[in-house]
């Protein structure tokens, strides 16, 4: 089990409507606070993982700036992460993760959930494996 409290700066796309030029897009720097919790349980060849990530930008610091660029007031990340991994051999791993997003990005759009499948082969060490068919 792992838990992390974090406070840092970040950047994200921002935009505003200029009467003369239309939509102007730029990058905005902001402070943020967050919490991340995760846990992993290992069986002999399988692992199960779960986690939660909450990331809340400090939008109030940007309200007093003279720039017209703004981040959406609903901007925050709130993700649940679930995953499985299988280790058929010492040097190979097959994994799957699902990130269920419940937050909004800096432009106010709902973040998309993501499903990931992967194969990892560690070739940093010499190995021998005999396959019987």
**What pLDDT shows up at residue 61?**
61
* Domain parsing of the chain, residue ranges: 2-14+26-121
pLDDT at 113: 94
What is residue 90's predicted lDDT score, i.e. its pLDDT?
81
pLDDT at residue 21, rounded to an integer: 81
How far, in Å, are 13, 92, 123 from residue 120 at the CA level?
A: 33, 6, 9
The series of mean pLDDT values per 10 residues for the chain, 133 residues long, is 65 77 78 87 94 84 58 86 93 94 87 94 76 71
Measured CA to CA, the distance from residue 62 to residue 38 in angstroms comes to: 31
pLDDT of residue 82: 97
- Contact present, 58 and 31 (Cβ < 8 Å): yes
Residue 59 phi, psi dihedral angles, 5° rounding:
-80, -20
Q: What is the pLDDT of residue 130?
A: 72
**Residue 116: its pLDDT value, please?**
96
Sign of CA dihedral 101, 98, 38, 8: negative
Is the pTM higher than 0.85? The answer reads no
pLDDT for 4: 62
CA nearest to 26, candidates 2, 62, 78: 62
**What pLDDT shows up at residue 67?**
58
């Amino acid at each position: 089990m792992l838990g992390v409290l974090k406070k840092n700066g970040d950047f994200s796309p921002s935009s505003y409507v200029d009467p003369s030029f239309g939509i102007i897009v730029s990058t905005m720097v902001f402070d943020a606070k967050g919490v991340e919790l995760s846990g992993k349980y290992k069986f002999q060849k399988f692992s199960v993982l779960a986690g939660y990530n909450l990331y809340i930008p400090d939008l109030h610091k940007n309200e007093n700036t003279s720039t017209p660029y703004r981040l959406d007031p609903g901007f925050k990340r709130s993700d649940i992460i679930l995953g499985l991994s299988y280790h058929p051999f010492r040097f190979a791993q097959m994994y799957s993760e699902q990130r269920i997003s419940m937050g909004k990005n800096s432009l106010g759009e709902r973040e998309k959930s993501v499903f990931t499948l992967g194969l990892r082969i560690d070739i940093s060490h010499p190995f021998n494996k005999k396959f019987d068919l």
